[in-house]
Structure formats: C-alpha cells, structure tokens
C-alpha cells in the first residue's frame, strides 16, 4: 500500500510543514465513498491502462486534446466493487488503473498508447517505480480487436527499438469490469498538490522515466500549470 513512497512523502512533507508551520494532510480521509461501477462505453472511445500509481497515471492524460475524462479505479480482478484497502493487499487481482474516455475524431488510440509507454518502465515486473506489488504492474487492457492489435504492434515496436536490454513485461489483456476508486483519489494532483509532488518525487518516477526514455511527457500544459503552481 505505497509503504515506501508514503514514508518518503511524509519525510518531505514534514520538512515543508516545519517551514510553513502546518501539518501535512493525511493520505486517507476517514470518509472514502466510492461511486458506483462504471458502465461499459463504446469500444472506440475508451482506453484502459494500468501504470502503477493511478494518481500519476491520471495526471498523464488529464487535459490532453481529445481526452474527455480520466477516472482512477480498479480492474482486472475478481471482487465486485473492491476498495482501495482490498486492492492494496494484492489478493483481489485488481490493478490500480485509469479509464480514459476520448474523442477519436480529435485524438487516436495510437497516441494514447504512445503516452502510456513513455510513462511506464515496461521492464519492471514487480510493480512500477517504488510501488511494489501485483496491483502496480503495467498493463494495457484492450477494448476490442482493433485495440488489441494496436497494443501488440506498439509493444513489438518497443521491443524492436533496441532501447531496452531487459524483456518488455507489460501485459496486454482484454478489458473487464472497471470500478472507479474512492472520491478522494480522483484528481488527487488537484486536491493536494503538495502531497502529490512529494509522493511523485519521492517515488523516483520522473527520474526513472528520464533515464529510460530520455524525455518527459508526463503532463498536458493545463495539468502542468496546476502541479507546478504557475
């Protein structure tokens, strides 16, 4: 359950709070209501990805041209309507994931796939970055044959590029039921920007992405304005 990054984030936040004279906010509020399970959308307008921490995955796609909405949640498991705590045990089979509704007239699934690959470490088999556990592994959940083929082609291109010495372990599997996460997880980068920054930096996400890809495309301009406080 993010034990390592929470510890790092807590340390960073305590330093910030000491200067500001304010205590850092708790990660999990007492109330953690969840929306109802999300109904299926048309295959041509939905993309579902697991990229490690869904806070960071959500911020990657929010505000992009053609992206209508991004929802953090859980998919790939067996329990109906699981909670964050249940998924964090690694026993339900779910992944922290995001559901993207997009306009195919404005953006393409291929573009979303490109953003996905450049915001994960596709060689990491035990999670993503500092988040370890099966619920944090990277997965492309395809909706229909066209998305499946596009995902397989994109993975083959990454493998053929010669960029990685280790095997590409990102899975490509059929999408199943998607359950939105608790309200406090949605748009977390907006709700608690300081804690989001501390977590993301402490987890080493961007440092690793720069190391393996040589560039960062983690935020749209509108999201970057929020998280960087411009």
Q: Which fold has domain 3-23+40-227?
A: 3.30.1060
Sequence-distant (≥ 6) Cβ neighbours of residue 131 within 8 angstroms: 2, 4, 5, 52, 53, 203
- Rounded average pLDDT per 10-residue block, the chain, 230 residues: 43 38 38 51 76 97 96 97 96 97 96 98 98 97 97 98 96 98 97 95 97 93 82
How far lies 71's CA from each of 108, 131, 155, 180, 184, in Å?
A: 18, 20, 24, 7, 12
Query: How is the chain split into domains, by residue range?
Result: 3-23+40-227
Residues belonging to the active site: 53
Residue 31: per-residue pLDDT: 44
Residue 85: per-residue pLDDT: 97
Residue 2: per-residue pLDDT: 53
């Amino acid at each position: 359950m993010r034990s390592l990054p929470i510890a790092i984030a807590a340390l960073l936040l305590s330093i910030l709070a000491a200067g500001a004279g304010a205590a850092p906010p708790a990660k999990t509020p007492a109330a953690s209501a969840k929306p109802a399970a999300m109904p299926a959308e048309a295959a041509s307008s939905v993309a579902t990805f697991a990229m490690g921490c869904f806070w960071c995955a959500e911020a990657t796609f929010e505000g992009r041209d053609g992206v209508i909405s991004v929802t953090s949640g859980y998919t790939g498991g067996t329990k109906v309507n699981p909670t964050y705590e249940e998924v964090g045990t690694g026993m339900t089979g779910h992944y922290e994931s995001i559901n993207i509704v997009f306009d195919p007239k404005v953006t393409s699934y291929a573009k979303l796939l490109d953003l996905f690959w450049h915001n994960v470490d596709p060689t990491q088999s035990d999670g993503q970055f500092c988040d370890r556990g099966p619920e944090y592994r990277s997965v492309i959940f395809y909706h229909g044959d066209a998305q499946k083929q596009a995902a397989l082609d994109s993975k083959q291109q990454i493998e053929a590029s010669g960029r990685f010495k280790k095997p590409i372990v990102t899975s490509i599997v059929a999408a199943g039921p998607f359950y939105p996460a608790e309200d406090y997880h949605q748009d977390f980068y907006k709700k608690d920007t300081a804690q989001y920054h501390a977590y993301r930096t402490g987890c080493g996400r961007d440092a690793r992405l720069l190391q393996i890809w040589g560039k960062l495309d983690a935020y749209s301009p509108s999201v970057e304005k929020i998280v960087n406080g411009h």
